[in-house]
Structure 1
């Protein structure tokens, strides 16, 4: 599973990344988490507000920081 955190490195982006790492840990799933900080790469996903989370190339949420529980649901939807 591939999880991408889209954002320019703001505090909310860092919090979303931390929540994603915690969700992966709690679910004990194999996942690669990467940060996408280049605005051109972010725009390729059609995201107009960051932070955003992309799982297996599907935008799951943008414009807010998802909680650990919300991210766990996104992950389970992709299993």
Structure 2
């Protein structure tokens, strides 16, 4: 199993920080290795077509934009992207 690549885009707002924390907790609880990166560069956000934050990409695919996910949603997204 290869590591998931998770990118969390945002300017460091509370929702963005909470999203990062949820993903870190979920990965830890599930025992899944991942390359998790927090990206605040506006140019990268524009290039990726992000209109609102937080935005999360897993393995290059946008899975969340403009909302704070719940822990069950985060775990479901992680599981779906392991397949």
TM-score of the alignment, normalized to the shorter chain, above 0.5? yes
From the CA coordinates, give the structure whose radius of gyration is larger: 2
Aligned residues between the structures:
79
| Cα distance in 1 between the residues matched to 2:35 and 2:70 | 19
Unaligned 5+ runs, structure 2? none
- RMSD over equivalenced CA pairs, Å: 0.8
Equivalent-residue separation in structure 1 for 2:51 and 2:59 (angstroms): 19
Q: How far did residue 76 of structure 1 move? A: 0.8
- C-alpha distance in 2, partners of 1:48/1:32? 24
Which runs of no fewer than 5 residues in structure 1 stay unpaired?
A: none
Moved over 3 A (4+): none
Q: Hey, what does 2:47 align to over in structure 1?
A: 44
Structure 1: distance between partners of 2:76 and 2:47: 24
1:17 counterpart (9, 15, 20): 20
Residues 17-51 of structure 1 show CA distances to partners (whole Å, capped at 9, x for unaligned) of 00010111121111011101001111222110000
Cα distance in 2 for partners of 1:43, 1:27 equals 32
TM-score (structure 2 length as normaliser): 0.90
